[in-house]
Amino acid sequence: MIRVSIKMAAAEMDKEDRISYLPRNVIDRILELLPVEDAARTSILSTKWRYIWAMLPNLVLDKPFCKKVAARSDCVFNAIVDKILLQHLGDVLKFDLDVSAVQCPDIDRWMLYVTRNGVKKLKLNMSKDSTFKVPSYIFNCPTLTKLKLFNCVFKPPKSFRGFPNLTTLYLEKVTFVSTTEIINVSLVNLTLMHCNGTQYLNIVSAGLKSLYYCESHCNLDLNCFINCKKLTYLYLEVLNYSTPAERLTLEKLLLSLTTLEKLTLCSQELELLSAGAVPKGLPFTLNCLWHLHLGVDLGQIGQTYYALELIKSFPNLSKLEIWVQGRDDIVEADLKYIDAQTCLDRPLNKLKDVTMHYFVGSKAELFFIKLLLARTPSLERMSIEPAGSLEEWNIAIELMRFPRASPKAELWYLTNVD
């Protein structure tokens, strides 16, 4: 109904072509948000639009587009990508290509083209079982600032020492096959997700600010990050630590990261760190750390204890997120330990925001929340995100009854979580 009255009003407004005269950066953005064929078709609208798509600095050939075209045939797909690149005018500053649904794409040739035409941001998604070797043009590309690779084999040429201008490197399901050195002063963000052969990696990057490492086995030698004096964000999720020596390395690493602001560790890290006797107080205090995100198996008292010790080592902690891993509930004796609240002997003065993810309403979680509420005089918000549907009223009532050290603490029970 609204559209009808707009159309009537439009008839009264001047018929003026304003869209063709919008600033170029705005028109480019509109074309980037269109499906590729729609964007290409704009070249026929008027002489003003003739070369706008051809000069678009950001070329995104996403999965739906590639899949649709490749469904006709691989030859047709290769021919069309050739055409798109050949008719392109000017530098390709960003090139995103998702060929995960394509059988035999002619990648090398296209990589050669974009690396010669000033590409700064490159993203390449190969298919799951691909054995595609990253070509030398990419390793030698001087203009690259951001590189994202999925499902490739990363084997640089012998002369490779690192990308000269790269600030972000994101590698997912990438395989390293031999010693690979990445000596890179400019690198700021490094993400390694589910890669193979990380034992071959040697990374020297003093300017690194963010490290995200998600892996099934800890093969990466974390020692190479010990000198990253600028690291502000660390995410570690390793499913399987194989040697106890890795515990010392992890502790040494945490000790060295004096500028760390945000830390994420999972229950496997806590399990490793808490193996054996946990000393009273940890050897490190990180003053800059304000955001802690922990995966904890609250059924394991060692992990809970270590989590509390960690929280105590960050005097400026203002945001805490806990996600509950593991299904076993805690034993009675350990519950008494948490309930006694001596495990958190001094209050957490700066903690303002706490979130419990995947909350199942176990005794351990309830006692943990009760402990936090009692020891956080500056708390502003405690959010509970349930894992599934629970007997919400009963849990909510129980939570509301816990005494709170902070008079202004709000309890948010979030039922509709995305």
Partner 1 sequence: MSSTKLLTLKTSDGEEFKLDEAVAVKSQAIKNMVEDDCVSNAIPLPNVDSKTMTKVIEYWKKHSEEGVSKDQLNDFDKGFLEVHHSVLYDLLLAANYLNDKELVDVICQEVADRIKGKTPEEIRKEFDIKNDFTPEEEEKIRQENAWAFD
Which residues of this chain interact with partner 1, rule CB under 8 A? 2-3, 6, 9-10, 13, 15-20, 22-23, 25-26, 29-31, 33-38, 40-47, 49-50, 69, 76, 80, 83, 87, 416, 418
- Ranges assigned E (strand) in 242-395: 262-265, 291-296, 319-324, 353-359, 381-386
Least Å distance, CB 71 to partner 1, is 13
Distances (CA, A) of 331 to 144, 334, 336: 54, 6, 9
E strand or H helix that includes residue 113 = helix 107-116
Q: Which is nearer to partner 1, 159 or 416 (CB)?
A: 416
| Pair of tokens at residue 138 | 């990419």
Query: Is 232 in contact with 260 (CB distance < 8 Å)?
Result: yes
> What is the smallest separation between the CB atom of 290 and partner 1, expressed in angstroms?
16
Least distance CB 189 / partner 1 (angstroms): 19
CB of 350 to partner 1, least distance (A): 15
Identify the CA nearest to 344 among candidates 374, 383, 379, 321.
374
Gyration radius from the chain CA atoms:
27
> Smallest Cα–Cα separation from 41: which of 33, 49, 24?
49
Output the smallest distance, CB 47 to partner 1, in A.
Answer: 5
Q: How far is CA 411 from CA 234, 357, 378, 382, 404, in A?
A: 28, 14, 14, 5, 10
| Residue 324 beta carbon to partner 1: minimum distance, rounded to whole angstroms | 24
- Minimum CB separation from partner 1 for residue 162, in Å? 31
Q: Which is nearer to partner 1, 19 or 206 (CB)?
A: 19
298: nearest Cα among 351, 244, 262, 335:
335
State which residue, 13 or 277, has the beta carbon closest to partner 1: 13
Paired with 204 in beta bridges are 183
The helix/strand/coil state of 191 is strand
Nearer to partner 1, 24 or 158 (CB): 24
**Residue 237 or 353: which CB sits closer to partner 1?**
353
Whether residue 247 contacts residue 274, with contact meaning beta carbons closer than 8 Å, is answered with no
Structure tokens at 104: 């035999």
Given the complex with partner 1, which of 22 and 340 has the nearer CB atom?
22
Q: How far is the CB of 62 from partner 1 (least distance, A)?
A: 14
Q: Is the Cα dihedral 83, 86, 92, 96 positive or negative?
A: positive
Q: Which is nearer to partner 1, 5 or 178 (CB)?
A: 5
Specify the residue, 42 or 362, whose C-beta has the smaller distance to partner 1: 42
Two tokens at 398? 């129980």
How far apart, in Å, are the Cα atoms of 285 and each of 130, 257, 268?
45, 10, 21
